[in-house]
Amino acid sequence: CCSDCFVAMDGSRLPPWWLKAVASLGAAAALALLVRHLQQKQQQDEPQPRQQPEAPRQPPAEVRQAPVAQTARASGLSGIAAQKAAATGAGPGAPDFSLPLDQDIERRLREKYSPSYLDIENQGNSCGALKVAIVMVSEAFRGQTRINRQREVQALLRPDLDSGRLHALSLMLKTPEEHEKLMAAQQG
């Protein structure tokens, strides 16, 4: 090591930072550092056994399929259409950049949630950036917390948010019972 190292009781040399660690961290932390230092030194001194690399295990064919390919087949796509959906990540719920954003959002929300009520409003008219407010009532939200509903819809619209196609999103997501209760409160 070096000439200014501290010599421990077992005769091993400790690095110069050892005394500073004891003074600033306290005995317990310094002891933990010492143990770690000695373990690392011991590992360096021991010869490492050579291990044969394991061959990667192949999962069964049905597991190896990409989830998008499975979804494309399940939705009735076959042949070239299924291959294109699997290759591009497109499939049910995937964004269609050839459609106007509000129509594309409506298509995806209807496919995934089959809402009994859906209202999509563009709130970004003044600044040019698309800000969308969505009010949706669906049985699919039954048993979910408010935050989980929002996370699920945000995940569906994540490609639009990431690409800058959608600037901001406001969500009101209700079950039919919650919607009826809200409407009754507004009436009375």
pLDDT digits (tens, 9 = 90+) for 132-166: 999 999 999 999 999 999 999 999 999 988 888 88
pTM for the predicted model, two decimal places: 0.52
pLDDT beyond 60 at 87: no
What is the rounded CA–CA span in Å between residue 112 and residue 120? 15
What pLDDT was estimated at residue 153?
Answer: 95
Over residues 100-108, the mean pLDDT reads 91
pLDDT at 39: 79
Average of per-residue pLDDT values in the chain: 75
Q: Which is more confidently placed, 47 or 147?
A: 147
pLDDT for the residue numbered 92: 62
Q: What DSSP string runs through 62-119?
A: HHHS-HHHHHHHHTT--HHHHHHHHHHT-STT---TTS-HHHHHHHHHHHHH--SEEE
Question: First-to-last CA distance in the chain?
Answer: 84
* pLDDT at residue 45, as a whole number: 75
